[in-house]
Amino acid sequence: MHGNGFILVGDAAGLIDPFWGDGIDTAMISGKIAGEILAEVCRGSDYSAAALQKYADTVWSHLGSKFKFNNMFRQRLESPPLVFPFMTRMEMFNKLYFQGAGTLSKLTELAM
């Protein structure tokens, strides 16, 4: 999402939720971070990829865990017969996503 002399935000940076497919929030978050980082970087004259690395790191620290979690969740739904042979896709979705506490530990358990 960055390189020598450029940074990308929102959809252009691939910040689209891997499960829900939404991206308004991540476009706004990455835009805000980009503004903050560029305010620092533009005080100097180094616009190299190395100087802009902080942007990618900051975006990932804000969004990385959500992306990893939802990506894992999507992968689980892609092959339901291997995970829950006797559940339909919607039953599994309902069970994992909406039935409250323990969802994360359940997913972690399933991922093992």
Ligand X SMILES: Cc1cc2nc3c(=O)[nH]c(=O)nc-3n(C[C@H](O)[C@H](O)[C@H](O)COP(=O)(O)OP(=O)(O)OC[C@H]3O[C@@H](n4cnc5c(N)ncnc54)[C@H](O)[C@@H]3O)c2cc1C
- Where do contacts with ligand X occur on this chain (CB under 6 A)? 10-12, 16, 22-25, 27
Comparison of 25 and 91: residue with beta carbon closer to ligand X: 25
Cα–Cα dist 49/51, whole Å: 5
Minimum CB separation from ligand X for residue 33, in Å? 13
Q: Which residues, 6+ apart, have CB-to-CB distance to 56 below 8 Å?
A: 1, 2
Cα–Cα dist 89/61, whole Å: 31
Minimum CB separation from ligand X for residue 72, in Å? 20
- 1 with 58: CB under 8 angstroms? no
Comparison of 16 and 63: residue with beta carbon closer to ligand X: 16
Comparison of 17 and 57: residue with beta carbon closer to ligand X: 17
Comparison of 10 and 59: residue with beta carbon closer to ligand X: 10
Say which amino acid occupies 13. Answer: A
Cα–Cα dist 53/7, whole Å: 9
Minimum CB separation from ligand X for residue 97, in Å? 17
